[in-house]
Amino acid sequence: MLQEERLETDLERLDRTAVWHGFTQMAHYNPMVIERGEGNWLVDCHGRRYLDAISSLWCNVHGHAHERINAAIREQLDRVAHVTSLGMGSATAAELAGRLVEIAPPGLEHVFFSSDGSSAVEAALKMAFQYWRQIANPEPQRSRFLALGSAYHGDTTGGVSLGGVEHFHRLFAPILFDPLRGPCPDAYRRPEGMDVDQACQFYLDQMQRLLEQHPGEIVAVVMEPLVQGAAGLIMHPPGFLAGVRRLTREHDVLLICDEVATGFGRTGRMFACENEDVAPDILCLGKGLTGGYLPMAATLASDQIWQAFLGEPSENRQFFHGHTFGGNPLAAAAALASLDLFESERTLERLPAKIEQLAAELAPLAEHPHVGDVRQRGLMIAIELVQDRATRQRFERAEMRGRKVCQRATDEGVWIRPLGDVIVLMPPLSILESEIELLGRTVREAIADEFAGM
Ligand SMILES: *Cc1c(COP(=O)(O)O)cnc(C)c1O
């Protein structure tokens, strides 16, 4: 599609010049201005339709403009749009907290609300840090976090400090705190000669060594369970999460799981932790919490952590953290409606068939000479493009293969956005059979066309 063929509208110009888009090179930005959504589709201001195959950056769950979520927001709007959660609360947020405690991994009984995933992580870090200073035998020497290689936990300063994606995070090093850096437990780029189980043990041994080398220093291990999203949908060897949970118990360190990306059905279960029967001490949720409709995030904590914050007002043990819009009732109403839809539409029960269908659609790609890996966990799929399959050698960054493949798909009406040379497919859980077919076919053709003649 030649962009020059049509005149830029006023809104497209503003979108290109007045709006500063995140993680977007504005000098090369072609405006794509969305006017409305219908189910799993987005419609731009020229009436062009796109299948939203990355769920509006990984947050949409049940499709756009779903009448039940829309109605819940409207109904709440007629009561009250916002009340603070500092020293008071809203009925809707209270109901949501109760529901989250019910569905979360066991032991997570208290919910701290914020507005986006990065804030949920910040709250988790400060909560864990303050916890060690307020337990019966305080351990104020604990001030380090252990994060994984290529970690991503959001773009606020604490999240970026934990972050290990070189080309996002290195620049900011002088203004960050320094975590202990664990391995990146990558099942695809695992050490030469190891099978996946051996690699799991290899990565766990590294975690164990770090925990042993820093006794009494570590506040918490922070990790994305199962899949490291922004790193390129890096998938952990099965058993790694359960292994880290065991190690953190043995070494008396807290475990913070960041399920901002993996939560709410993405991996096939409500939460990724369920796949390995793990309950962290602190759980971060965001993205899909409201079905992807309104900004809301949550940090869930165990009762053990909560107890350390109780006392007389004069003792100053309360959590020293809070956001203006934490627990916003409109967002809470959307989240409750989304959880209702999980039940009434049997969203999780219907997933296995979709997961299998998409895997079958993508299976032929495994033969392609420039596809190094097709990996999938539920409805999180990565297709990694490589120069050389045998050596897993990457393309030069400047070739922008991932971006070009995604542009081809977008031109055909399937909206996807890559992470470097990793093609990410993360459709809404509501994606239909016919849409999975379209997605599979479009991506196969986009890759075939990109490498035609090579
Ligand atoms: C997206 C994401 C975040 C940050 O969430 P925002 O809402 O963008 O601030 C944090 N952690 C993980 C794992 C994420 O995928």
Q: What is the pLDDT confidence band of residue 188, given thresholds at 50, 70 and 90?
A: very high
**331 falls within a domain:** yes
Q: Are 107 and 124 in contact (CB under 8 A)?
A: no
**356 falls within a domain:** no
Ligand 1 centroid, distance to 138 Cα (angstroms): 31
**212 falls within a domain:** yes
Going by DSSP bridges, is the β-strand pair 414-415/297-302 parallel, antiparallel, or unpaired?
A: unpaired
**Contact partners, residue 134, CB within 8 Å, separation at least 6:** 308, 309, 317
Compute the average pLDDT of residues 100-128: 98
Task: Check which CATH number belongs to the domain holding 110 and give it.
Answer: 3.40.640.10
**Contact partners, residue 447, CB within 8 Å, separation at least 6:** 365, 368, 370, 371, 383, 385, 405, 423
Ligand 1 centroid, distance to 263 Cα (angstroms): 11
Cα 152 from Cα 184, distance rounded (Å): 11
Q: Are 330 and 113 in contact (CB under 8 A)?
A: no
- Overall domain count for the chain: 1
Ligand 1 centroid, distance to 118 Cα (angstroms): 5
Find, among 417, 383, 366, 368, the residue nearest to 233 by Cα: 383
Q: What whole-number percentage of the chain has pLDDT above 90?
A: 96
Mean pLDDT (the chain, rounded): 96
Compute the average pLDDT of residues 284-313: 98
Three state DSSP letters for 368-435: CCCEEEEEEECCEEEEEECCECCCCECCCHHHCHHHHHHHHHHHCCEECCCECCEEEECCCCCCCHHH
Ligand 1 centroid, distance to 135 Cα (angstroms): 29
**454 falls within a domain:** no
**234 falls within a domain:** yes
Q: Could you read off the pLDDT of 382-406 as tens digits, one per residue?
A: 999 999 999 999 999 999 999 999 9
Assess whether pLDDT exceeds 80 at residue 67.
yes
**423 falls within a domain:** no
Q: What is the pLDDT confidence band of residue 166, given thresholds at 50, 70 and 90?
A: confident
Assess whether pLDDT exceeds 90 at residue 277.
yes
Phi, psi of 394 (to 5 degrees): -80, 160
Q: What is the pLDDT confidence band of residue 1, given thresholds at 50, 70 and 90?
A: very low
Q: Report residue 13 as tokens.
A: 């110009």
Q: Report residue 108 as tokens.
A: 């997570």
Assess whether pLDDT exceeds 80 at residue 416.
yes
Assess whether pLDDT exceeds 80 at residue 337.
yes
What's the confidence (pLDDT) of residue 101?
98
**408 falls within a domain:** no
Assess whether pLDDT exceeds 70 at residue 4.
no
**39 falls within a domain:** no
Cα 272 from Cα 249, distance rounded (Å): 19
Q: Which domain holds residue 306?
A: 81-344
Q: Which residues line ligand 1 (CB under 6 A)?
A: 116-118, 121, 152-154, 224, 229-230, 258, 260-261, 286-287
**Contact partners, residue 441, CB within 8 Å, separation at least 6:** 361
Q: Full-prediction pTM beyond 0.95?
A: yes
Compute the average pLDDT of residues 296-322: 97
Cα 202 from Cα 183, distance rounded (Å): 9
What's the confidence (pLDDT) of residue 2?
46
For atom 6 of ligand 1, the residue with the nearest CA is 117
What's the confidence (pLDDT) of residue 168?
80
What's the confidence (pLDDT) of residue 380?
98
